[in-house]
């Protein structure tokens, strides 16, 4: 067991080291090399996700982010985690690498991806099964009609208020 853990860590280290070297490009900046490599190329978001996602749940949690050798993902975790669900998904990672804001969260897409029984609403079990932490933590507040289900209108209101920038009060 210890050998396979050590091998996994060594493999992860070598892969991260390789990505770091690749991202720097060839010696001398690659001018006139004609090798077809782009200067200043960045690692692909899906590669980074697969390297850091050690439990293979298709997201990077804080513990996994802390294993980023450069420390950048861990350091900027809250900024990269645009929807505040305490995990970084592929879209958030891509947006971060491209210095763009991630696309707005669609209530329709949330229902489509989380609604296991296809009734058009989300119950606490469905939300927990898909590990939607932002919904888990705010379920009672989102469920304004208190029917123990989140409907499309409730989700739209939640995400609309969540995505608006907070204004600072003037003194």
Q: Taking a C-beta distance cutoff of 8 angstroms, is the pair 114, 130 a contact?
A: yes
Find the range with the poorest average confidence among 26-30, 63-67, 68-72.
26-30
What is the reported pTM? 0.42
Q: Is 5:54 a contact under the CB 8 Å cutoff?
A: no
Residue whose structure tokens are 């001018």: 31
Tokens representing 165 are 């920038």
Residue 153: pLDDT band with limits 50, 70, 90: very high
> Would the pLDDT of 57 be above 80?
yes
Cα(first)–Cα(last) distance of the chain, in Å?
60
Crossing angle for the helix pair 107-114 and 152-163, to the nearest 10 degrees: 130
């Amino acid at each position: 067991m210890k050998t396979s853990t050590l091998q996994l860590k060594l493999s992860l280290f070598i892969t991260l080291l390789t990505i770091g070297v690749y991202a720097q490009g060839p010696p001398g900046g690659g001018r006139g090399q004609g090798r077809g490599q782009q200067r200043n190329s960045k690692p692909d978001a899906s590669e980074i996700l697969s390297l850091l996602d050690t439990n293979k749940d298709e997201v990077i949690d804080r513990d996994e982010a802390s294993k980023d050798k450069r420390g950048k993902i861990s350091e900027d975790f809250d900024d990269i985690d645009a929807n505040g669900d305490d995990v970084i998904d592929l879209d958030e990672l891509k947006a971060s690498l491209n210095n763009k804001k991630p696309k707005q969260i669609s209530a329709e897409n949330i229902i489509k991806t989380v609604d296991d029984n296809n009734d058009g609403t989300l119950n606490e079990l469905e939300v927990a099964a898909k590990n939607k932490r932002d919904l888990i933590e705010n379920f009672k507040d989102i469920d304004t009609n208190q029917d123990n289900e989140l409907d499309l209108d409730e989700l739209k209101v939640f995400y609309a208020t969540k995505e608006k920038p907070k204004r600072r009060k003037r003194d």
